[in-house]
Structure 1
Amino acid sequence: MNNTVTVSLRPYSIKEEIWNCIIHGTGIALSIAGLTILVVLSSIYGNVWAIVSTAVFGVSMILLYTASTLYHAIPNPEIKKKLKKLDHISIFYLIAGTYTPFLLVNMRGTLGWTVFGIIWGLALTGTVLKLRFSGSGTKLWSIGLYLIMGWMIVIASEQLFTSLPRTGLLFLICGGLFYTLGVLFYIWKSRQYTHAIWHFFVLSGTTMHFFAVLYSCVLL
């Protein structure tokens, strides 16, 4: 029996797709739980900035893991093509959503709002480009934009790092490293399960950033 899916938009074996769905399906459940925890604790220990910004972060997590799970679960080529765009676009919003609590709770001020505007501007730019263009040629600039957005924090690193507790800072850095190392498996298409491994790194990075937000922006 042939276990390979032949649709060009789905170049993974059925077993690979099952793992892709399991990992990011788990991400949906964890994201819903994470959103609930952050918003409830923010309402108890934080302020309106914490409530709104952690809600944005939580929704961005749910969007990404839902889009990814549906993309890998649904075989219909036309639906899959649309879900692939949504999957890639949602990465821009997860990055911007992750920045939001740190910028609005820990920083604000001129620098905080400047980085906030830039990062969400880049997310919107990436969205427009993804909707306007398609094909394998978009992959390289998409990855480049993801990495630029992810590491743009170095612009405000001194001010941000001094405003974070050590525990939150360690979780923040670990999350960034998980995402960055995971890109290697995202690019590496020649071996089976590398995409599932990429998904594991993404979930690990998101988990680290959840705790970074929890300890830095909520439980101050």
Structure 2
Amino acid sequence: MATSNVINRVVPKATPRKKAAWRGVSHQFAAVAAAAAGFLLTLDAPPGKAQIGCLIYTVSLTLMFTVSATYHVPTWGIKGRNIMRKLDHVGIYCIIAGTYTPLCLLALDEVTGRRLLLQVWTGAAAGIAHSFMSRGGAGSKAMSALLYVALGWIVLPYARQLKVVLGPGATYMVVAGGVIYSLGAVIYAAKWPDPSPEVFGYHELFHAAVIVASALHFGAVKSVVSGAKDALCAAEN
């Protein structure tokens, strides 16, 4: 007993890291903005596959930000935290596949679009399965970041065809968004830079990168929808 008391005095117990004040707050606002902007985008899309693609994209985007905010803002118990962490990862895989959905339906030929759509949603399902089987930890975090990046860049074999249909502006937004997502994943895995751990740390930088990348991809999807509308108007005239 005496030895134990001495050890407790000499070796201080590790204290858990305090949650940053801004943890999840930015995604609260992003969830509202995503729902509103996505609703208007879906209404503006031509009926049929364009509207279906936009609806899937909007639900995925809103789900990701909503689950992220719900996970990160409150303080959860151990069991609740583990469940919410897995759901948070589900949201990330859903938005990657959800963003591809309108692009596959509207910017690629039918055969290629269906092939890429199957690949990306299969990859998302595999990532979701990994999230639920994972026990967490640093290795799991790095693996998750690697899976996010790999799934996000699955479009590379189809880049030339997408570029022709999207045009330079939307192509730039897709690529820039992908780069920023990837940079955010690296920050998330490396836990660096960590500018202000108690207010705005590495995790908040990751969340900010997700918002910026999402905004760029939203612009690309909107551009594709506008092109689909123009094509429909031209066909009717």
TM-score interval (norm. to shorter): 0.7 to 0.9
* 8 Å Cα contact 2:64-2:92 kept in structure 1: yes
In structure 1, runs of 5+ residues without a counterpart are 1-5
Report the Cα distance in structure 2 between the residues aligned to 1:119 and 1:132, rounded to whole angstroms.
20
Q: What is the Cα deviation at residue 189 of structure 1?
A: 2.3
Q: How many residues align?
A: 206
Residues 9-24 of structure 1 correspond to what in structure 2 (within 5 A)?
A: 11=17, 13-14=18-19, 16=20, 18-24=21-27
Give 1:198's aligned residue: 206
Structure 1 175/198 Cα, relative in aligned 2: closer, same or farther at 3 Å?
A: same
Residue 27 of structure 1: CA displacement?
1.1
Q: Deviations over 1:9-56 (max 9, x none)?
A: xx4x34x2x3122211111011111211211110xxx23111000111
Partner of 2:32: 29
**Distance (whole Å) between structure 2 residues aligned to residue 169 and residue 37 of structure 1:** 22
Q: Structure 1 segments of 4 or more deviating over 4 A?
A: none
Write out aligned runs for 1:60-209 (5 A). Answer: 60-77=60-77, 78-136=79-137, 137-189=139-191, 191=194, 192=197, 193-209=201-217
Q: What residue identity is the alignment partner of 1:142?
A: S
Q: Which residue of 1 aligns with 2:3?
A: none
Deviations 1:103-157 (A, max 9, x none): 0111142221111101000111111121122221322221111111111111111
What is the CA–CA distance in structure 1 between the aligned matches of 2:105 and 2:32, rounded to whole Å?
Answer: 26
Do the aligned partners of 2:38 and 2:54 also contact (CA within 8 Å) in 1?
yes
Unaligned runs of 5+ in 2: 1-14, 229-237
SS of residue matched to 2:218: helix
Larger radius of gyration: 2
Q: In structure 2, the residue corresponding to 1:164 is in which secondary structure?
A: helix
Structure 1 position 219, deviation (Å): 4.4
Residue 3 (structure 1) aligns with: none
Opposite residue 37 of structure 1, the aligned amino acid is L
Larger displacement relative to structure 2 (87-96 or 107-116): 107-116
Normalised to the residue count of structure 1, the TM-score between the two structures is: 0.88
Question: Would the aligned equivalents of 1:57 and 1:97 in 2 still touch at CA under 8 Å?
Answer: yes
How does the TM-score come out when normalised to structure 2? Answer: 0.82
In 2, are the aligned partners of 1:28 and 1:65 still within 8 Å (CA)? yes
Cα contact 2:23–2:204 (8 A) shared by 1? yes
